[in-house]
Amino acid sequence: MTPDLFEPDAPSTEPLEPGAVVLRQFASSHQAALLAAVQAVTEQAPFRHLVTPGGFTMSVAMTNCGALGWVSDRSGYRYDAIDPEGGRPWPAMPEPFAALAARAAAAAGFDGFAPDACLINRYRPGTRLSLHQDRDERDLRQPIVSMSLGLPAVFQFGGATRGERPRRVPLAHGDVVVWGGPARLHFHGVLPLKDGSHPLLGDCRINLTFRKAG
């Protein structure tokens, strides 16, 4: 049979390192629901460019849904139940998303994942995320589940120290990655997004990270 160039890839599982697993195309069949929910969230809690404690404005635009949302300002990073822009709680996390994230975590060996925070990142061409660790969550034994939508990106996955040269992992629309175990505190980032246009999202990449923060 001739391969159909317009058919998405079949799902597959790629172990990256102990605790880190790429679930290729795990979210593809849920793309419409995910995008509709992102739209609904951003109507209540618009994307914004946060300022780091050092005074730099992030090139990634962010918002959140769930009981807790990740925020940054001159005083530091934290999880907050209230959106500081508007003073209201973050929009609820749609239950089907929490369930999809839990299924992904289980596929990577983390049973019982119950996220209470979903950080939504928006990238445009040129947007990058410099190497960092995620350590603002209360229980660092809980994994993080990330879902990529829209334009492809090159993810940088480093080691436990900033000095280790990161490897490059391409992430495409529909890919899901679970980060737990020893990989949970590894440095990571995203290289500047390349120009392009995605059929559903245009010149944009959206990444959702599901966390158990509280």
Part in contact with ligand MD3 (CB under 6 A); list of ranges 32-40, 47-55, 85-93, 175-183: 175-183
Q: Is 183 in the site for ligand MD3 (CB under 6 A)?
A: yes
Q: Is 209 in the site for ligand MD3 (CB under 6 A)?
A: yes
State the DSSP H helix or E strand holding residue 78, giving kind and residue range, or none if neither: strand 76-80
Tokens of 169: 């992992």
Q: Is 190 in the site for ligand MD3 (CB under 6 A)?
A: yes
Distance CA 104, CA 35 (A): 18
For Fe ion, the closer CB: 88 or 167: 167
Distance CA 15, CA 210 (A): 19
CB atoms inside a 10 Å sphere around CB 63:
25
Q: Is 212 in the site for ligand MD3 (CB under 6 A)?
A: no
Q: Is 63 in the site for ligand MD3 (CB under 6 A)?
A: no
For ligand MD3, the closer CB: 90 or 155: 155
Binding residues for Fe ion restricted to 127-146, rule: CB under 5 A: 134
Q: What would the x/- binding string for ligand MD3 be over residues 123 to 162, using CB under 6 A?
A: ------x----x---------x-x--------x-------
- The three-state secondary structure class of 86 is coil
- Closest by CA position to 179, among listed 19, 13, 23, 24: 19
Q: Is 28 in the site for ligand MD3 (CB under 6 A)?
A: no
3-state SS record for 158-191 = CCCCCCCCCEEEEECCCCEEEECHHHHHCCEEEC
**Residue 130: CB partners within 8 Å, gap ≥ 6?**
189
Q: Is 100 in the site for ligand MD3 (CB under 6 A)?
A: no
For Fe ion, the binding residues (CB under 5 A) are 134
For ligand MD3, the binding residues (CB under 6 A) are 119, 121, 129, 134, 144, 146, 155, 177, 179, 183-184, 186, 188, 190, 207, 209
